[in-house]
Structure 1
Amino acid sequence: MRSVNLNHFFLPPSAFTGESVLFPKDISTQISRVLRLKPGGKVITLDDTGHLFEVELESVTSKMVTGRILRSSAAGNEPEHHLTLQICLTQREKFEWILQKGTELGVVEFMPVLTSRTLVHSLDEISNKFDRWKRILKEAAEQCERGRIPALLPPDQLKNALTAEAGALSLVLNEQEHQLSLKQALEKKPDTTRIFLLVGPEGGFSEDEISVIKKAGYQSVTLGPRILRMETAAIAAASIIMYEMGEMS
């Protein structure tokens, strides 16, 4: 289905009844007051389960917009490789920027991680931010025309976040690594479709943390001789992974 230049919206399952679509109030306001669309206008809606619908607007007010489905198809634009970005928590603006840009690149899951050097030390400090982060992921997925909204996994301490999944490639960016590059690690396991990438906080991981991470099965990799800011490293590494896996061709 050709959807160029049509606005994209992820809607809850309750918005769809047969061929009819009832837009939530916040999206109705956006359609009527921000985008100023009129009856007869068209948008793309997605149900976040892999389905995409082209919808013609029938009634447009600031409180309620309704439409009817013209045609449906499988939602595309999702990567074949499943990249989970495990990000140590940092300043709000930096973390949210990583969520946004990672979504654009095709990251499938994000996991916030706490370590001894993160700026956030308690899960209680971020309990009220989860809804905001989900909203950022949704808006970024709509903007870049993703077929699904990336998952936001619950924040956790480092020791609980480390994942040893059979067949997966688990990597940690480490400024003390001088032998194995990210590109080389990917070339050694070209058939993998499941990748975990752990990105440390400002100041990096402690020696004890690196030891624990390696024991959990993560390979230590480098992005080169220059020291990158953590948000730069996260997006640079995600870009390299998606490119090397053929997701940007």
Structure 2
Amino acid sequence: MQGLKRFYYNVPFSDELVLEGEVFNHLKNVLRCSAGEEIILYNDVNIARYRIDSLNKRRISAHFIEEKKQINPDYMLHVYLAVMKNRYMDNIIHKLGEIGITKLIPVYTENSTATVNNNTYLRYNDLLIKGALQAELDFLPALEKTVEIHQINPECDTNLLFAARRAEIKIPVVTSKSVSLFLGPEGGFAEKEIKFLSEKGFSIVSPLSSVLKAETAAVVFTGMVKILMENASV
């Protein structure tokens, strides 16, 4: 299934499938797909390969070729992401999906500058899924509802808080495949938040001597931890 165009289309897969809406528009008007081409579709449980039979002005008809269940990754990478301005959040979330996080939890902190309503949540979920599809992952990451910082309760074995010029620890030692990260926000964390997260079991790490923008740091540090996890011997 490698190399084929991938889309999220959350319907039960059947022998014959009609594609409409956003997926239809993207296939027909953006990618200019034609009959005979194969595509990969994801729903919330499975991944299926279909071949396009016909296209008209409103829909695409395709027939089923093969199907497999989404995998349960052999790692947990949870990201607590401080809520920032939408123009930053959208790019970060798409990139986190590409990197291969398994769960995203948006968090309100003292320096959060935006709110997450239902439409925003749906957009975040769409971006997270599209990032995972871009990376051809065999699973879809989960998006949790937004919480206040005092409500978080990390589930992973290793918990890391990235904060500029806050700690002597540079590159974290990652020997576990169960890691949670806390990233952001613009303007940094308040002292009471640092104290609270430390009490919750987060180790403070400062990998760089320079200060990165929050949206840059989120992608750089998550990617770094994912690489360390993939090379961890557990």
The answer to whether TM tops 0.5 is yes
Aligned residue in 2 for 1:35: 31
Distance 1:48 1:128, change over 3 A: closer
Aligned match of 1:106:
100
Q: What residue in structure 1 maps to residue 2 of structure 2?
A: 3
Matched, 1:226 2:210: yes
Structure 2 residue identity aligned to 1:52: I
Aligned to 2:53: 58
CA contact (8 A) 2:154 2:180 kept: no
Q: CA deviation at 1:84?
A: 1.1
Q: Which residue of 1 aligns with 2:193?
A: 209
Deviation at 1:24, TM superposition (A): 3.3
CA distance in 2, matches of 1:103, 1:168: 21
Larger CA deviation: 20-29 vs 218-227: 20-29
The answer to whether the aligner puts 1:95 opposite 2:95 as a matched pair is: no
Post-superposition Cα deviations, 1:96-155, rounded to whole Å, max 9, x if no partner, equal 1110111111111111111111113xx5x5343111112212322222222233211111
Residue 83 of structure 2 contacts residue 108 of structure 2 at CA under 8 Å; is this kept in 1?
yes
Alignment of 1:148-167 (within 5 A): 148-161=139-152, 163-165=153-155
1:181-219 residue CA offsets vs partner (Å, 9 max, x unmatched)? 2433x2xxx1x2221100131221111111111111111
Matched to 2:20, the amino acid is P
What is the TM-score with the length of structure 2 in the denominator? 0.89
Deviations 1:12-61 (A, max 9, x none): 133x22x2222232212222222222222211122232x33221112212
Runs of 4+ in 1 over 6 A off after TM superposition: none
Match of 1:181 in 2: 170
Give the 3 Å change call, closer, same or farther, for CA 228–201 of structure 1 in structure 2.
same
Q: Is the 8 A contact 1:20 1:69 kept in 2?
A: yes
Q: Which runs of 5+ in 1 are unaligned?
A: none
Matched, 1:128 2:122: no
- 8 Å CA contact 2:95–2:219 kept in 1: the answer is yes
Superposed CA RMSD: 2.2
Aligned residues: 232
Q: % of aligned pairs identical?
A: 21
Question: Displacement, 1:228?
Answer: 1.3
Report the CA distance shift for 1:29/1:203 in structure 2 as closer, same or farther (over 3 A).
Answer: closer
SS at match of 1:183: coil
1:193 correspondence with 2:177: yes
Secondary structure at the counterpart of residue 230 of structure 2: coil
Q: Partners of 1:176 and 1:239 in 2: how far apart?
A: 20
1:116 & 1:30 partners in 2: Cα distance?
39
The TM-score normalised by the length of structure 1 is 0.84
Distance change >3 Å, CA 84–CA 62, structure 1 → 2: farther
- After TM superposition, the structure 1 stretch with the greater mean CA deviation from structure 2, 136-145 or 225-234, is 136-145
Task: Give yes or no for contact 1:33–1:62 (8 Å, CA) kept in 2.
Answer: no
**Change beyond 3 A, Cα 1:47–1:164:** closer
Work out whether residues 29 and 62 of structure 1, in 8 Å CA contact, stay in contact via their aligned partners in 2.
Answer: no
Aligned pair 1:21/2:17, yes or no? Answer: yes
User: Is contact 2:167–2:204 with CA below 8 Å preserved after alignment?
Assistant: no
Distance 2:119 2:51 in 1: 36
Do the aligned residues in 2 keep the contact of 1:89 with 1:112 (CA within 8 Å)? yes
